[in-house]
Amino acid sequence: MSLELLGTARKTVGAKQTLKAMKRNEVTQLYIANDCDEQVAAPLLTLAVEMGIATDRNYTMAELGLACRIKVGAAAVGLLS
């Protein structure tokens, strides 16, 4: 899935908000930055595997932040259903 979609799609930005949305079963696609700390990524990856959520780790924090139209990097982005 391309990053252009992140600018307009319903989403959560940031590891904490995305993890909360995943626990509420609202996330359909998960993006995790390939340069974020493993301590941040591990709970997201574990829950994504448990819930069968497709995960993409091909982008950096800066790329995810830019795609979401925020001024800082984003460790995780979740597309909402």
Per residue in 48-66, pLDDT tens? Answer: 999 999 999 999 999 999 9
The CATH code of domain 3-80 reads 3.30.1330.30
Hey, where are the domains in the chain?
A: 3-80
Is 35 within 8 Å of 74 (Cβ atoms)?
no
Residue 52 structure tokens? 């069968």
Is 60 within 8 Å of 33 (Cβ atoms)?
yes
Per residue in 13-43, pLDDT tens? Answer: 999 999 999 999 999 999 999 999 999 999 9
The 3-class secondary structure across the chain, one letter per residue, is CCHHHHHCCCEEECHHHHHHHHHCCCEEEEEECCCCCHHHHHHHHHHHHHHCCEEECCCCHHHHHHHCCCCCCCCEEEEEC
